[in-house]
Structure 1
Amino acid sequence: MSHDSPALSRRQLLQAAGLAALPLASLPTLAAEPEKLRIGYQKSSTLTIFLKSRNTLEQALAAQNVQVSWHEFSSGLPLLEALNVGAIDLSADVADAVPPFALAAGAKLTYYAIETPSPTAQAIVVKKDSPLTSVAQLKGQKVAFAKGAGAHFLLLEALSQAGLTFKDIEPAYLSPADGRAAFENGSVAAWVVWDPFLAAVQRQSGAKVLVDGTRLSSYRRFYLAATPFAQRRPDVLAAVYRELQRAGDWIKQNPKPAAEWQGPLIGLDAATVEAANLRRSYKVQPVDAESLAEQQRIADAFTQAQVLPRKVSIAESPVWRPAA
């Protein structure tokens, strides 16, 4: 004969817990833990900073039980590295040259939006009293730029057009802050940089533009997601995409209020921010064939210059697009 106790009924269990007198509907239920959405951004990520400052995404995603956390990075490549290792889920905009570097390192990334071209929002600059007047004169000179940034691709294209190769210059891989310091103290001959840092050094130091991205680099800004997150939460991507579009529309329609809002957040005066914003399109659109074709051209240019460790096939990366 078994000595096991008979199974307790649900009512006996409730009685033991002192809950039998309560109607079942009134028993407490545990709310599902909210899912975290970790977003990485840079100082130049205007639209994402706008959403962050207004709690826009928190409100838009509350109904989907998603909580947002924000993580600032110095430049685009560390941002995408964090995306690849699972430290964040979404990246704000990065320059068009950044994804090929991350993909060459094996990152599993999904493209989910672009900002349309802003070719004049990045440039090669020299000091106002510099004797240099052309890109060809950069031969043998030390040039500062952020490795893997749009500035890196712009430099490659400008050198090629001037009949030079990457080996003709001495590269100084520096973040925007360190690049500005090296530029100011004269330890580099030129600096390749993007807005708002470009507008700041032009207005504050009188830096001269040797060449901008016109006819060299379209300078689209790309938004990316960790592929596992994009596959699991396309609904979250759709919500973020909608809010980015709205933010871009507001900034272009309200240049002065936008600059007055943004200036204190990034430590620049409103006039400098407005000058920078005039050069950025801030038009958020789905990732299209033309933008991906340019991604491939960028990747091929880096491979040819031997700054990418291996050939990259952009077509192998997934693309999220909003429903029609």
Structure 2
Amino acid sequence: MSRSVPQGPSRRLLLAGALAAVSAAVTGCSSDSEASSSGSGKRLRIGYFAFPSGDLIVKNRKLLEKALPDHKITWIKFDSGASVNQAFLGKSLDIAALGSSPFARGVSGASPIPYKVAWILDVAGENEALVARKGSGITDVAGLKGRTIATPFASTSHYSLLAALEEAGLKPSDVKLIDLQPQPIIAAWERGDIDAAYVWLPTLDELRKTGTQLTSSKEIGAAGKPTLDLAVVSDELIAEDPEVIDTWRKVEAEALRLIRSDPEGSVKAVADELGISTKDAEAQLSQGVFLTPEEVTSADWLGTDGSPGKLLTYVTDTARFLADQKQIDAAPAESAVRKAFYLKGLPDVLK
């Protein structure tokens, strides 16, 4: 593995691996992830992460299935945003959760991925962090020089790790970066193959048991480089069935309200979906930053129809940073990023 971060795979390679990635993801789905259909032939394929968010509440309570009884809804679990991007290139998804960093990558280049951001699931807080193994002697980010760090490449954690290194005066070439998904990170950690890792829950909590947290996405966001978990919709769905997107937004908004109005029920839903105790689910939910639907559509975040919010600047800045770090060839102009926002109907469709 090179000590510097390699360039991301070409669109052609991403496309070639797309169907295989989705096939593996579908195979990993639980048997209860599909709803019955009325036989109309309509389908909705939703990509999600096993990560505390309103998505898990929508899935667990079958809010979307109840709202769209004439659709066959399939929930497909993914491990990282890179795999989600591959799936959209392979036209295997209609809606999906996606971190702001892989989204910035997706809308960059001459052939942007055919999707648009339509919702914000959460803002990264203490639920994504950089942890060093105890006994490694590493007590701060600067101490990572010459050490081996794992993170899922092209993810929000990868972006935050690069930002943390830059803030500490380190270049990517000053460390050895390893591209690992969350589960393999745990195995590498236990073997002693890595000195540190930047990753999200629930893997993060496993590392914290025998590690020292050096920084988090909450701290990095406060310093000017926030990351978010977004939700994107395919251009094809926008063209063919925009009313479904309105319905999906309504149930996502309901889930955000439930996190506040029914915390016990929300914790139980997350615990059931992740197969963990309610105590652990409550702790994990508390580490994320969940906006209200009104905040999502405010000028501070996603914005409204015809008036994008600060998310536009965040995504543009993320792409520019990734270009400076040689993660992408060139950063798109803000006007190009704006084209990847789907705000039609907001905020009225939430009423």
The TM-score, its normalising length taken from structure 1, stands at 0.82
- In structure 2, the CA distance between the partners of 1:196 and 1:256, relative to structure 1 (3 Å rule), is farther
Q: Is 1:271 the counterpart of 2:271 in the alignment?
A: no
Structure 1 distance, partners of 2:47, 2:207, is 25
For the Cα contact (< 8 Å) 1:73–1:79, is it kept in 2?
yes
Match of 1:302 in 2: 322
Q: How many residues align?
A: 289
Map of 1:139 onto structure 2: 145
Gaps of 5+ in 1: 1-30
> In the alignment, which residue of structure 1 is the partner of 2:40?
33
- Return closer, same or farther for 1:32/1:119 CA change in 2, 3 Å cut-off: closer
Q: CA deviation at 1:323?
A: 4.5
Partner letter of residue 53 of structure 1?
Answer: N
CA distance in 2, matches of 1:261, 1:52: 9
- Which whole-Å deviations, capped at 9, do the CAs of 1:188-231 have from their partners, x for residues lacking one? 111001223323432xx242210112124322211101112123
User: Using the alignment, how far apart are the partners of 2:312 and 2:68 within structure 1?
Assistant: 29
Query: 1-side partners of 2:283 and 2:206: how far apart?
Result: 9
Is 1:152 paired with 2:172?
A: no
Distance 1:39 1:267, change over 3 A: same
Alignment of 1:48 with 2:55, yes or no, is yes
| 1:310 Cα deviation after fit | 3.4
Distance, in Å, in 2 between the alignment partners of 1:54 and 1:81 is 28
Query: What's the counterpart of residue 212 of structure 2?
Result: 208
Q: Partner amino acid for 1:133?
A: T
Residues 227 and 146 of structure 1: is their aligned pair in 2 closer, same or farther, counting only changes over 3 Å?
A: same
Query: How many percent of aligned residue pairs carry the same amino acid?
Result: 21
**Contact 2:48–2:77 (CA under 8 A) maintained in structure 1:** yes
Residue equivalent to 1:317: 340
SS, match of residue 97 in structure 1: helix
- Of 196, 200, 203 in structure 2, the residue corresponding to residue 194 of structure 1 is 200
Task: Look up the match of 1:79.
Answer: 84
Residue 33 to residue 188, structure 1, CA distance change in 2 (3 Å):
same
User: Shift of residue 281 of structure 1?
Assistant: 2.2
User: Where does 1:51-200 land on structure 2 (aligned, <5 Å)?
Assistant: 51-62=58-69, 65-91=70-96, 93-104=97-108, 106-200=112-206
1:133-175 per-residue CA deviation (whole Å, 9 max, x = no partner) reads: 1101111111100111110111111111111111211111110
TM-score w.r.t. the length of structure 2 is 0.76
Equivalent in the alignment of 2:27: none
Measured against aligned partners, the alpha-carbon deviations of 1:113-133 in whole angstroms (never above 9, x if no partner) come to: 113533322110012333101
CA apart distance, 1:32: 8.0
Partner of 2:252: 244
Rounded Cα–Cα distance in structure 2 between residues aligned with 1:135 and 1:78: 28
Distance across 2 between alignment mates of 1:109 and 1:257: 32
Distance 1:208 1:257, change over 3 A: farther
Aligned CA distance change for structure 1 residues 253 and 185 (closer, same or farther; 3 Å):
farther
Q: What is the rounded CA distance, in whole Å, between the counterparts of 1:318 and 1:263 in structure 2?
A: 32
- Do the aligned partners of 1:114 and 1:220 also contact (CA within 8 Å) in 2? yes
| In 2: Cα distance, 1:151 partner to 1:136 partner | 18
C-alpha separation in 2, matches of 1:219 and 1:279 = 14
**Is the contact made by 1:39 and 1:68 (CA closer than 8 Å) also made in structure 2?**
yes
Structure 2's unaligned 5+ residue stretches are 1-37, 304-308
1:45 Cα offset (Å)? 5.8
CA distance in 1, matches of 2:283, 2:342: 32
CA contact (8 A) 2:151 2:181 kept: yes
Provide closer, same or farther for how the CA distance between residues 274 and 128 of structure 1 changes in structure 2, counting only shifts above 3 A.
Answer: farther
Query: Which amino acid is 1:312 matched to?
Result: P
Separation of aligned partners in 1, 2:323 and 2:240:
32
CA distance in 1, matches of 2:176, 2:156: 18
Contact 1:40 1:70 in 2 (8 A): yes
Pairwise CA RMSD: 2.1
2 CA distance for matches of 1:180 and 1:125? 12
Q: Determine whether 1:258 maps to 2:266.
A: yes
Separation in 1, partners of 2:76, 2:39 = 24
| 1:51 to partner: Cα distance | 1.6
